[in-house]
Structure 1
Amino acid sequence: MAFEAPSLTLKYGSGREASAEGREALLKGRLAELQLPTAADVHEKYPAFVDASSIFVSGSLIWGWAHANSDLDLYVISKEPFVAGPGMETFERHVSTADPLIWITLGEFGPFRTDIEIWREEQVDEIIDRFAKGVPNQEVPDIGMSEHDMLHRLVSGAPIAGDDWFAARRDAIRAGSFGSWLAESKKLDAEGFLEDVAGLLASGDEHAAVIAAREAFNRSLTGLLALYGEYGVSPKWNFKRVLSAQPAEISKDEAWELITMKGCYEQPGAWAEHAAAVATRLLIAVEEKTA
């Protein structure tokens, strides 16, 4: 019996990463000067997006924080419900809007894997309206990660089509209460962890106190940065957000030492007390700025 090599049919992507040569070529492309797709590039590859109200890119590639394995995050906004074109592989995701269905499709542009989120105008506007100027923070319902990400990516992204639509929504988010709501939300989370720190230290559990203090600090920092227009919540970008926002309440050196947990192994109790004290200081600043 002759041996037959197994075959593999890919649902997503071209398979260029299957070989060492392909991976090396893609790596070189990702590390080269960034060439974003144009509207014409997107329309040619995905004719279903020709009538989109706006197409924008966001994520680490746009922010200048990309690494060798970064993806390209592409967002497509349409008036009408999305209908997949020929050859498009898509899957559903649900969000907390009246029409709960958004679509995700995976593809490639140049050397980059590309995640494409497809939203309707009404869905985006519904989320933005929850944080319209004058809406009290405590009356805004909690939102999921997809909704948070859309607001964050709109503010920090760059349009490649539908500039006017994009600019109007970006400005509405900035003028609304999303930043103060996010700051208040993180403040409440941090306060819970600070209570844990105090209880754990009183009980002599210094190691668990370190973990709770780290969480309190990360959340208090995220809340503070939200008031500076930095709406991201991923801890891996905390220091870069500090460098970008340059908040008056904490220096980059102090932030770096706490983000990297300098000294926590040698003196866990003392580190937990210090991190909790800095977190408290940041939360007081958040309270003063949102009062």
Structure 2
Amino acid sequence: MYSPLSTALRKANARMTFDFTRSLDELAGRDLLPDSHDSAFVVGSLARGWGNDLSDLDIYLVSEKPWAGSSSGTIRVPLSHPDVPTEYFHTEERRWEVKYWTAGQVEEILAKVSWAEFDQGGTIGQMLTRDEEQLLERLLVCHPLDGEEWVRRQQRLIEESAFRAAVVTHCLTNADDFAEDALGQLAAGDEASAVLSVRQAFGHAVDALVAAHGECGRLVKWRARRMKAAAPQALSYERYWAVETMRDFDPDDPATWVRDVMYLCKLLSMRVEI
């Protein structure tokens, strides 16, 4: 049986559709489409059918040469070519955001998550910046507009890399750290802080679990969606949502809830495969 929230999510997903067929024409009409490109793809909530009427339309364009056209700003990344130009504009429907990557930048980012780098003890935060991590995570679940073969090739390379393992390890480490904090806070009688810490521990444990099932995003606002998409056997959606919303929390006995959630975090960590 679905919970009311999961039912609402399914209905919202069915309602939220977007016609991407004229996206490249829109960019070309604004002189925002490179003369040649390896691929163009939609990322983010609209690409997954998770968006709403206020969601941005996020598009990544990948070319051999850096974008030399107009841009609203630039993201800086620690690569041999450090600039990722960005452009923003509005249509009648919504706000658009375009990011211009080069194929060389993508190749360099993939090299950072090799198994050799991972085996040396690197964490995802040490291996990649947040923008680089987001590129790989979004590539795995994007909606290709052009150059689908290029996208599928990158997806295979990401799957073969240590990217997923690095995300899982990072989340498990955070889960253990926050659980240890909660334990110490309980011992000191600081129950309020223990509640906050164990909630963080649980979130990271869930992120590790769903990342092991291919859902490598880490934005909290999409955690429920990732749980629904991954559907891990180790944790039902109903049980997840009960803890996420603190359904069984007793304000007169917070310590019991903290210990229960700590135990669940330990079980989840043991069932996550890296």
Structure 1 residue 272 corresponds to structure 2 residue 254:
no
Within-5 A mapping of 1:249-264? 249-264=234-249
Unaligned runs of 5+ in 1: 1-30
Q: Report the residue type matching 2:76 in the other structure.
A: H
Q: TM-score, normalised by structure 1?
A: 0.82
RMSD (CA atoms): 1.9
Q: Quote the residue 1:127 is aligned against.
A: 109
Cα distance between partner residues in 1 of 2:132 and 2:81: 13
Cα distance between partner residues in 1 of 2:118 and 2:32: 42
Structure 1 residue 34 corresponds to structure 2 residue 21:
no
Shift of 1:111: 0.6
Q: Report the residue type matching 2:195 in the other structure.
A: V
Shift of 1:249: 0.8
Q: Report the residue type matching 2:42 in the other structure.
A: V
Structure 1 residue 104 corresponds to structure 2 residue 86:
yes
Q: What secondary structure is seen at the aligned counterpart in 2 of 1:232? A: coil
Q: Report the residue type matching 1:122 in the other structure.
A: G
Shift of 1:179: 0.7
Cα distance between partner residues in 2 of 1:119 and 1:263: 46
Shift of 1:40: 3.1
Q: Report the residue type matching 1:42 in the other structure.
A: L
Percent identity, aligned pairs only?
25
Q: Quote the residue 1:187 is aligned against.
A: 172
Cα distance between partner residues in 2 of 1:178 and 1:32: 30
Cα distance between partner residues in 2 of 1:51 and 1:108: 24
CA separation of 1:120/1:34 partners in 2, compared to 1, >3 Å: closer, same or farther? Answer: same
Q: What secondary structure is seen at the aligned counterpart in 1 of 2:89? A: strand
CA contact (8 A) 1:187 1:219 kept: yes
CA contact (8 A) 2:140 2:155 kept: yes
CA separation of 1:220/1:49 partners in 2, compared to 1, >3 Å: closer, same or farther? Answer: same
Cα distance between partner residues in 2 of 1:32 and 1:235: 20
| Number of residue-to-residue matches in the alignment | 255
Q: Quote the residue 1:95 is aligned against.
A: 77
Q: Quote the residue 2:99 is aligned against.
A: 117
CA contact (8 A) 1:193 1:213 kept: yes
Structure showing greater radius of gyration is 1
CA contact (8 A) 1:62 1:158 kept: yes
Cα distance between partner residues in 2 of 1:101 and 1:125: 15
Shift of 1:134: 5.9
CA contact (8 A) 1:131 1:176 kept: yes
Which segment is superposed worse, 58-67 or 243-252?
58-67
CA separation of 1:33/1:99 partners in 2, compared to 1, >3 Å: closer, same or farther? Answer: closer
Residue number among 190, 194, 216 corresponding to 1:231 in the alignment: 216
Shift of 1:265: 5.2
Residue number among 190, 211, 224 corresponding to 1:205 in the alignment: 190
Cα distance between partner residues in 2 of 1:117 and 1:149: 12
CA separation of 1:91/1:243 partners in 2, compared to 1, >3 Å: closer, same or farther? Answer: same
Shift of 1:119: 0.9
Deviation string 1:154-186 (CA, Å, 9 cap, x unpaired) is 101011011221111111111221111100011
Q: Quote the residue 1:218 is aligned against.
A: 203
Q: Quote the residue 1:148 is aligned against.
A: 133
CA separation of 1:238/1:55 partners in 2, compared to 1, >3 Å: closer, same or farther? Answer: same
Cα distance between partner residues in 2 of 1:229 and 1:201: 34
Deviation string 1:204-259 (CA, Å, 9 cap, x unpaired) is 11111010001001011111111101011011111111111110110111100111
CA separation of 1:248/1:33 partners in 2, compared to 1, >3 Å: closer, same or farther? Answer: closer
